[in-house]
Amino acid sequence: MFHPFSEIPVDTVLPKLFTCPFCYTPHPLAVLAADQVRQYLETRTDWSDELSLGKMFGVLIVRDTAGQLGFLAAFSGNIGGRSCHNFFVPPIYDISLPDGYFRTEERSISDVNSQIASLEENPSFREAETRLTLMKQQSEREIAEAKTAIRQHKAQRDAMRSQPLSDEQRAQLIRQSQHEKAELKRLERQWHARIEAATEDVSEVKAEITKLRELRRQKSEMLQAWLFNQYVVRNARGESKTVRLIFADERGTEPPAAAGECAAPKLLQYAFVNSYQPVAMAEFWWGQSPEGEIRRHGMFYPACHSKCEPILNFMLQGLDVEPNRLRQTPKTELKIIYNDKWIAAIDKPAGLPSVPGKEHAESVYSIVKEMFADANGPLVVHRLDMDTSGILLIAKTEPVFVTLQRQFASRAVKKRYVALLDGILKTDSGTISLPLRPNPDDRPRQMVDPELGKSAITRFSVVSRAKGRTLVNFYPETGRTHQLRIHAAHCRGLNCPIVGDNLYGAPASRLMLHAAEIEFVHPVTNQEISILSEVPFDENSD
């Protein structure tokens, strides 16, 4: 499992701190190790079809007990239905053993699924369900028709009562009304009895299906709880903890499915068990991108937050780890580019959140709250991603805030962003329409979802092309989270990620995305206001 480097470049400098798995630039040795893993994968023609669908791999640079420098490799999940393969480290717990408790209980749950399917697909049951459905529809139709006739007859009787009538005629109208009401009651009772009898034909089977579904739920929950108690992970201090307890302590929840099966925890576990010293780590994607997400073949990616963050936070205890740059917010002075009694516009630097977050004490909001101490409004009218720079509007009173937000909601505010894309666009201009929603398994990432996503529309135009990059203007018509970043990177968008996009592209010195211009109507003076901000990068920026 330990792969020594046959040759290390003479100018290689080992990192002083271990890789922050959630925000990193791959160390040259990690890149070298990943290249060796890729070469190995290309020899596994028996895996070609499966790997073409996409899988995450990881490498961990380590020193073994003799001080030799090498690497470990791992994959997320399994390959070919197995968790153990030569060349790669073993899983933290092998659920693929055919006679193990997990597979045995999994087969038991599958048996319950088969019983449910057998009951649901039984021809007699399906015919009885269809018959009951048709009977209900017919009863509703006949009862509705009877009620309509009663209303029509009542209208006729009311019209007749407006004319002179004998006592006998009036009595006859009353008898007619009573008869129709009685007939309606009889019709309703008849259909109720027929439906009740037909319901008995399906209720017993439905009760059995409900019972089996509850049994399946209980079995699944018990198996998941048992499984995550088997995943006992170590950290650099030599401490051990179950994955289930890790999630309970950090998030107060049960672990999500497949927690502990990703590449990074496997690598660290093997290193700690074998007393290897971790040096650096990286994960890369192999194959097609999952539907709706953005993964590029061969590109490095940070660890996921939903499954890995609590586990890695525990496992890295005892190691000197690089600080997470995404959570660093150095003290910032904001540049004011527009200011009057009601509104201000500031030039937000990249790396500063618009509003306070869990890990960020400082934000645009906290700074402008001190800058405009007399302001009584919510202040920050709209938001920019933390890594995006550019214009942010500040409202100094609540009425101004409300008016500006209405302009944003009605799409009356015009915005222009400038972005540097990693790739050459062939089209000079166009419109991207890809609906977006949060990725529940990997926040804060967003994903494309035609069914559940919210409408997201972006117009674009090319400014210039040079050195394999394209400078573009973006004109967003909607304001979804990460809209411009995904519309740039996704294969059904521009298929060219923004330079420096560590979530959907490759890391660089910064995210090359800048809110450069905004136009709106002043809520108090009713004048059209246009504000510009100088773009802090060009085609030659790194």
Distance CA 363, CA 357 (A): 8
Q: Is residue 486 part of a domain?
A: yes
CA atoms within 13 A on the CB side of 422: 18
Measured between alpha carbons, how far apart are the two ends of the chain, in Å? 37
288 Cβ contact partners less than 8 Å away, ≥ 6 residues apart? 52, 53, 54, 295, 297
Instruction: Domain of residue 202: give its range.
Output: 106-227
Domains: count for the chain: 3
Angstrom distance (rounded) from CA 34 to CA 71? 9
* Residue 298 shares a structural domain with residue 400: no
Q: Judge if 365 and 420 occupy the same domain.
A: yes
The secondary structure of 173-221 as a DSSP string is HHHHHHHHHHHHHHHHHHHHHHHHHHHHHHHHHHHHHHHHHHHHHHHHH
51 lies in some domain: yes
Same domain, 493 and 383: yes
Of 227, 244, 277, which residue constitutes the final position of a domain?
227
CATH number of the domain bearing residue 415 = 3.30.2350.10
- Residues 542 and 52: their CA atoms lie apart, in Å, by 31
Distance between CA atoms of residues 376 and 394, nearest Å: 11
Q: Which residue in the block uniquely carries the two structure tokens 């459905």?
A: 133
Show which of 227, 242, 272 is a domain's final residue.
227
273 in Cβ contact with 319 (< 8 Å): no
Instruction: Return the SS3 of 298.
Output: coil
**Count of CB atoms situated within 10 Å of the CB of 308:** 24
- Domain assignment of residue 538, yes or no: no
CA torsion, points 448, 455, 379, 358, in degrees to nearest 10? -20
Assess whether 310 and 334 both reside in one domain.
no
Whether residue 377 is found in the same domain as residue 396? yes
Whether residues 337 and 479 share a domain: the answer is yes
For residues 9 and 88, state if they share a domain.
yes
Same domain, 176 and 278: no
| pLDDT score of 538 | 84
Q: Is residue 222 classed as helix, strand or coil in its secondary structure?
A: helix
Chosen domain end from 187, 207, 227 = 227
79 lies in some domain: yes
Which DSSP string corresponds to 427-438?
-SEEEEE--EEE
Q: For the chain, what percentages of helix, strand and coil (3-state, to nearest 5) are there?
A: 40, 20, 40
The answer on 235 and 223 residing in a single domain is no
**Rounded Cα distance, 417 and 484, in Å:** 9
* Residue 347 resides in a domain: yes
Domain shared by 337 and 467, yes or no? yes
Are residues 520 and 406 part of one domain?
yes
542 in a structural domain: no
**Secondary structure (DSSP) of 9-54:** -TT----SSB--TTS----HHHHHHHHHHHHHHHH-GGGHHHHHT-
- Positive or negative CA dihedral for 388, 394, 398, 402? negative
Which pTM value belongs to this model? 0.73
541 lies in some domain: no
What's residue 137's pLDDT? Answer: 94
Per-position DSSP letters for 414-479, written without gaps between them? EEEEEEEEES--S-SEEEEE--EEE-TTSTT-EEE-TTTPBP-EEEEEEEEEETTEEEEEEEESS-
Residues 6+ apart with CB under 8 A from 285: 54, 55, 56, 57, 295, 296, 297, 298, 299, 301
pLDDT 10s digits, 65-107: 999 999 999 999 999 888 899 999 999 988 776 677 888 888 9
| pLDDT value of position 293 | 86
Position 58 in a domain: yes
DSSP state of 60: E
Within 13 Å of residue 334, how many CA atoms lie on the same side as its CB?
A: 30
The pLDDT of residue 300 is: 94
Question: What parts of the chain have a pLDDT lower than 50?
Answer: none
Question: Do 133 and 168 reside in the same domain of the chain?
Answer: yes
Catalytic center residues: 385
